[in-house]
Structure 1
Amino acid sequence: MRPDASCEESCSLSKLAIGKSSLLSADHVRALLDSIQEESSGVVFPFLAFMAGTALSPGEAVSVRVHELTLPEGEFGEVLVRAGEGRRVPVSPDIVGVLRRWIDEADLEFEDLLFPAERGGPLASSEYKRAWRRARQAVLSPGEVQAGLGEQVSSLRDSCLDRWLEAGVPAWGVAEWAGVSASWIALRYPHRFGLEDVEIDWGHLEEILRLPDIPER
């Protein structure tokens, strides 16, 4: 186990795997964030959008400071996560835009928390959880709500990690960005590791497995 691994690493294997039907789709995430942007003001929308695009846990996201971000306009940026051994996580151009606007609107300084509470200090979980509950009720179907889809804000993390895998990022790369091990990623998202989804170059495989010429006896 990696020394910087979160409690996710110690989950029992029987509880670790998450089925594809239990994950928020990209359309779900967009609709939820749209609802939150319309109904909530201030810090909540940029905070949840940041989580959705970087797969940070809520605890990691509330601790980020402005100087730990690199946000080039119109390009991929980066956030330095200092938890554990530390890691660098990409920030997509659309989230870069959200954060640049938020930093300007909130008049944040270099050393400030990226997502401060209204009266200073880290953002309280009660504030973003309340907005999340309202968005779920507004966006998801009654059946999806009853089934527990997106019940926790941390569902944004799972959805992002799954979409990275879907996009073709290697498991070890997703693990590095997420701060967990590659084995944890494979056990958590088994639907992304089916052999039927792998394109095998049989000719190359034959070449590298070929034995040296053996003289006839």
Structure 2
Amino acid sequence: MSIRHGLLALLERGPRYGSQLRSEFESRTGSTWPLNVGQVYTTLSRLERDGMVVQDGEDTAGHALYVITGEGRQELKSWYEAPVDRTSPARDELSIKLAMAVGAPGVDIRGVIQLQRHHTVKAMQDYTRLKSQALTAIEKAGAAGTQERDDIAWLLVLEQLIFQTEAEARWLDHCEARLIRLSAAPQREPRRAQPSADRTTAAPPAVSATPLTTDR
């Protein structure tokens, strides 16, 4: 998640102060990725250091306002125009857990999968319910002519979460089926060494090198 670019996108709409940026970020994403004020101001400091934003006065309540610069607009434009890099995927805790559970003593990996599937399906149902609510809000706002971009943005985030949980549930089904097939496969006996051709032919009796003697 790029907090840096998210804040630049909000500042492109006009001057903002720290807690205002946090509220608008969470509103746009439905608090899926909550921020604290410390994160916001740390990011703003780095953006200011990099010439992406500048402080420009205060509002009537004395909050320091931040404004995007030309460099910040160019950075934001480049972000929109470039694909999100998937060649270095973020660490996924579930994938790591299942990878470590394979062959771990005392761990029922199928039990781990079933427990996770139950949680994933429940999350998917919750996201679907929230999507229904978001669609209702958008329809009402559209009928009243007051449609908010935040509602549409939140709907897109929800749909991504639904697709993500659906894919995770299918992957868990695949993992369980894979484990069942592997456990049912016959175990191969270790191949025994075959006797060599030399060993199958009886060796002639050894001849003593000591000469025989006769009694006189």
| Length-normalised TM-score, structure 1 | 0.28
Greater relative contact order, per chain length (Cα 8 Å cut-off, separation 6+)? 1
Instruction: Point out the structure with the larger helix share.
Output: 2
Which of these two proteins has the greater Rg computed from alpha carbons?
2
| Length-normalised TM-score, structure 2 | 0.28
